[in-house]
Amino acid sequence: MLVGLDVGGTFTDAVVVDKGRILKSHKCRTTKPNLMEGIEAALAGVATAIEPTKVTRVTLSTTIVTNALVMNQVDPVDLYVIPGPGMDIRPLLPVTPIVLNGYTDHRGSLAAPLRQRELDQIPGEKQNTRAAVSAKFSVRNPKLEQTLKEELLAAGYETVSAGAELSGSLNFPRRTVSAYFNSAVQGTFEDFSEAVKAALARYGLTAPIYILKADGGSLPLERMKASPVETAFTGPAASVLGMAALRSMPKDMTVALDMGGTTTDISLWENGVPMMARGGAMIRNYPSAVRSFAVSSVGIGGESAVAFDENGKLTVGPDRLGPSLVLGGTVPTLGDALIVLGKANYGDTHMAWQGLANLLQKAPHGYVAGTDKDVADTDNTAIAADDADAGIAAGNAAEGIAKDAVIAFAKDIVAAAVTVITDGIAASVQRENKLPIYVVRDIVEPKIFKPEKLVAVGGTAVTLAPFVSERLALPVQIPQNAPVANAVGAAVARETLMLTVHVDTAKGILVVPELGIHEKQRSVQTAAQAESLALDYLQKAAGDLGLTNAPSGHIISVEDVPIIEGWQSMHRLITVKAQLEPGVSEYVQ
């Protein structure tokens, strides 16, 4: 039995899953600022289905860290960087760092040590209780970072995050941003995890607690205290996993659209697996090394406001100025336009006709409804003639506006919204296809993402997605998802872990940056040996965390480049990445 909790921006959902079936689910409002009230309410809603002794795992997807970051309610952090020669990193960072001398080169050789004089000054520099350290090429040799971390702890810092512990990939600015924000949210996360443990204990739940990460994997709560930044932006991850768990995703190259009230989230899928953001997630506009799904948002949703801008151009979104007119709002929305077109039927529908007719009446000179031919003629038979007449007649300002003109206007509104979405899809696809080209094969046989299908979920999917499908000439699936798909996604999320093994056979060095390993070794000489070593390390690290899928690791990338030392001796530089793959542990009906 699995329990899933999803704390979203608006709703907190709980779900109990057993043997591939949803036993019970409950949806309630998210409570801010004290999220625990909502979590307890959601748990109370499903409590009758929970048999505490049978529950093997409780998994949470939470906005706690995201909110803390977005609201800037984070702890202050002293950031120490060891950049060595190269680009000035300071303009790319969220705070002014303390810069120390020392340098590790691209081969992991120590080119310049830390300076004792600078280390002696640390107590004077110390302003906060939390610190972060990041050194260039620490993924090739974590020694400088580790040494400095020890010095900082000795100088009295409570916690110190180190860049290479959070990411084994080359990118000093991203690792630095990750380390900084990791320390900044540690306090928030610790408070939250204590509250969660207490709440679950009140329901007799003593099963291991897992937290969902942005990459769609989960890890034990205790482990995440070391890397809480990875739990930011899990909303899209939960939604993406929910789609996977409910078997919504085809194997084709698929564009998934999560169409909500304010935004549409776009993700790209292949073989039923969502694609990862290259490099990592953005945290407050700073690129980090936090692995996440590649989800981008465009400002189009069912309640996107419709207006004319100062140039007289019709705009839809990105603003949401309250609910649609039919639900008592004050500004016409995309949803109102879809009602006029007979695609939806809720609320006081004649308000939609009236509102659109009014706005059309005030349209700038030169605007003629219906000149946008991007929306093909829709079937008008569903349009409620009575509503139309009543609505237009009721709007005094709109006297003399013909019903056909309002319909044409509504089509223009939908067309404008669809354009924003298709532009967003095009940008996502373009980003995906800007792959690094390192070998001739990459360009002679390029791997190009070409959308073959659309899958749309969310409140606006049924009404809006068919228009996107028509524009792109791609078939669309709109699965009848349970309203608690995100909580389901969290409940069945697999455990994930990733690590990097870098072998330099010339120097006889082995590096596993995520584990702080940098040691002499001569036995690994080939890529195959490095791969098997990486899987061993992964299994051991996963076993230490008590992960159930520890043996299921696999290799996700191998780079094996022959190198020459002194013109003659042949050696290799091998970099292998291994991971426990994110995904769902079981499908759910």
Partner 1 sequence: MYNKNTLGLVFFPAFDWKISPTHPERQERLLYTRDQLLEEGLLEHPAIREYNPLLASWQDIERVHVGAPSLKKWVTEAHRVSVGGAIAAAEAVMRGEVTRAFSLVRPPGHHAMKMVHGIRGFCTVNVEAIMIAYLRRHYGVRRIAIVDTDVHHGDGTQDIFYHDPDTLFISFHQDGRTLYPGTGFMYEYGGPQAVGATVNIPLPPGTGDEGMLKVLQNLVMPMLNDFKPDIVINSAGQDNHFSDPLANMMVTAKGYARLTDILKADIAVLEGGYSVQEALPYVNTGIVLSMAGLDYSQVVEPAFDEDTNRQRPDVTRRIDDIIRKWADQWHRRHEMQVDALLGLGDFWQDRRQIYYDETGISEYRDEKIRLYPDKVGYMSIDSRSDGGPFGSQHVYATFIPWQADDECRRDAYDATLAAKKAGNADRYVVVDPMKDVQEEI
Which residues of this chain interact with partner 1, rule CB under 8 A?
Answer: 83-89, 91-92, 103, 105-107, 111-112, 136-137, 139-140, 170-174, 279, 287, 434-441, 443-444, 559, 561-564, 567-568, 570, 573
CB of 105 to partner 1, least distance (A): 6
- Reduced to 3 states (helix: H, G, I; strand: E, B; else coil), residue 173 is helix
Residues 6+ apart with CB under 8 A from 191: none
Phi-psi region of 413 (alpha: psi -120 to 50; beta: other; left: phi over 0): alpha
Nearer to partner 1, 92 or 321 (CB): 92
Nearer to partner 1, 109 or 419 (CB): 109
Can you tell me the distance from the alpha carbon of 330 to that of 335, in angstroms, rounded to the nearest whole number? Answer: 13
CB of 112 to partner 1, least distance (A): 7
| Closest of 127, 125, 276, 138 to residue 215, by C-alpha | 276
Can you tell me the distance from the alpha carbon of 433 to that of 444, in angstroms, rounded to the nearest whole number? Answer: 14
CB of 364 to partner 1, least distance (A): 31
CB of 415 to partner 1, least distance (A): 28
CB of 527 to partner 1, least distance (A): 13
The secondary structure of 515-555, three-state, reads HCEEEECCCCCCHHHHHHHHHHHHHHHHHHCCCCCHHHCEE
Positive or negative CA dihedral for 542, 134, 186, 297?
negative
With contact defined as beta carbons under 8 Å apart, do 96 and 128 qualify? no
Virtual torsion, Cα 421, 278, 245, 467, nearest 10 deg: 10
Nearer to partner 1, 89 or 390 (CB): 89
Nearer to partner 1, 94 or 220 (CB): 94
Nearer to partner 1, 135 or 421 (CB): 135
Name the strand (E) or helix (H) holding 455. Answer: strand 453-457
CB of 173 to partner 1, least distance (A): 4
Structural Rg of the chain based on CA atoms: 27
CB of 205 to partner 1, least distance (A): 43
Nearer to partner 1, 71 or 561 (CB): 561
| Closest of 207, 200, 166, 168 to residue 186, by C-alpha | 166
Can you tell me the distance from the alpha carbon of 114 to that of 217, in angstroms, rounded to the nearest whole number? Answer: 37
Nearer to partner 1, 47 or 92 (CB): 92
CB of 400 to partner 1, least distance (A): 48
Nearer to partner 1, 170 or 195 (CB): 170
Nearer to partner 1, 199 or 282 (CB): 282
Contacts 24+ apart (CB under 8 A), 33-38: 35/7, 35/62, 35/63, 35/64, 35/192, 36/195, 36/196, 36/199, 38/7, 38/12
CB of 141 to partner 1, least distance (A): 12
Nearer to partner 1, 517 or 573 (CB): 573
CB of 225 to partner 1, least distance (A): 28
b or e along 333-361 (b: 16 or more beta carbons within 10 Å of the residue's beta carbon)?
bbbbbbbbbbbbeebebbbbbbbbbbbbe
Residue with tokens 């302003």: 127
- The residues that bridge with 241 in the sheet, in sequence order, are none
Paired sense of beta strands 98-99 and 21-29, if any: unpaired
